[in-house]
């Protein structure tokens, strides 16, 4: 988005820079990365150890004791690259669609159904854009749990991309792209659209002002919805991306998982998923709202503001 487009308010809607969502998500990731790492370790526990999934607390203790406290931040560079690609795209496209499909004379936000459709499309775009970084992120987080002979030992995210290109081929960067795109569509629809809806309901019912308290409550409820909707797809996506063999696809992973674990796999790691996604969702939306508030201070609008979501 150009500066001219970003700084101009048209039809009563403020147009923010495309990168706000990615920036807010990167800041949030710095706080929640250890939770994401533990979630990945729990989701892959059955494939790497062949046993029962450890509790979240035990997983934290095991990583800290065996690998050191800094190991909780293994793969942070990949996590930041993922947010810079995946979240920047999905948040940016979502905001563009919201402003584009809101009629000039309409001061109320689009309907919830419309928000869901726009968020789903935005999530799909983000899923494709962030897939390479997502693979590197999952692998780096899971690497130290593997036997030394199976470790990939990526130095950082870009090193991981280079090694995948040279050893596995360009197509490896899009391994698991379909479950990842589906998850991204579900995540964005159940996260961004529900956040806007919960925020609108809270403000409409007079339960709070457009401040941090309302942003916290709306994002907390959004995180609960998103975790529940995305948990099954997240498990399959993680296991497909961890695999290094060619031909490892969604159906083969799904069949093997059901055969070994029955229906328990569906919500494997739900608690650490929410423990990570809940705080990450809250921090992301709070940081993004602060981005927007600062933007409005720096670029005051001549017309009354409306439909600021």
Weakest-pLDDT range from 75-84, 142-151, 183-192: 142-151
For 205-245, how does the pLDDT look when each residue is reduced to its tens digit (9 = 90+)?
A: 989 899 999 999 999 999 999 988 887 777 777 677 666 55
Give whichever of 7-21, 47-61, 155-169, 176-190 has the largest mean pLDDT.
155-169
Model pLDDT, residue 252: 73
Taking the whole predicted model, whether its pTM rises above 0.95 is answered as no
Q: What is the mean pLDDT of the chain?
A: 82
- pLDDT tens digits, residue range 84-96? 999 999 999 998 8
- For residue 175, pLDDT beyond 60: yes
C-alpha–C-alpha distance, residues 276 and 32, integer Å: 6
**What pLDDT, on the 0 to 100 scale, is given for residue 304?**
45
Tell me: pLDDT of 266 over 80.
no
């Amino acid at each position: 988005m150009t500066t001219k487009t970003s700084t101009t308010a048209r039809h009563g809607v403020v147009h923010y820079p495309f990168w706000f969502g990615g920036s807010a998500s990167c800041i949030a990731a710095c706080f929640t990365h250890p939770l994401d790492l533990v979630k990945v370790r729990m989701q892959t526990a059955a494939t790497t150890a062949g046993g029962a999934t450890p509790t979240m607390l035990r997983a934290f203790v095991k990583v800290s004791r065996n690998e050191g406290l800094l190991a909780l931040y293994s793969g942070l560079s990949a996590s930041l690259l993922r947010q810079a690609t995946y979240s920047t795209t999905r948040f940016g496209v979502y905001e563009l669609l919201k402003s584009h499909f809101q009629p000039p004379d309409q001061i109320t936000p689009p309907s919830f159904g419309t928000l869901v459709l726009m968020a789903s499309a935005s999530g799909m775009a983000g899923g494709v854009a962030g897939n390479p970084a997502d693979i590197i992120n999952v692998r780096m987080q899971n690497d130290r749990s593997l036997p030394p002979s199976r470790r990939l030992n990526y130095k950082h995210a870009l090193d991981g991309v280079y090694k995948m290109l040279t050893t596995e081929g360009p197509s490896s960067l899009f391994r698991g792209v379909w479950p990842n795109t589906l998850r991204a569509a579900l995540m964005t629809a159940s996260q961004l659209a529900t956040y806007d809806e919960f925020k609108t309901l809270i403000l409409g019912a007079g339960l709070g002002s457009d401040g941090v308290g309302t942003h916290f409550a709306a994002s907390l409820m959004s995180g609960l919805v998103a975790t529940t909707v995305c948990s099954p797809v997240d498990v399959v996506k993680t296991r497909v991306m961890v695999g290094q063999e060619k031909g490892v696809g969604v159906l083969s992973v799904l069949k093997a998982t059901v055969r070994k674990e029955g229906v328990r796999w569906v919500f494997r790691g739900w608690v650490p998923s929410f423990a990570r996604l809940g705080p990450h969702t809250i921090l992301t939306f709070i940081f993004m709202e602060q981005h927007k508030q600062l933007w409005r201070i720096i670029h005051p609008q001549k017309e009354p503001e409306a439909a600021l979501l």
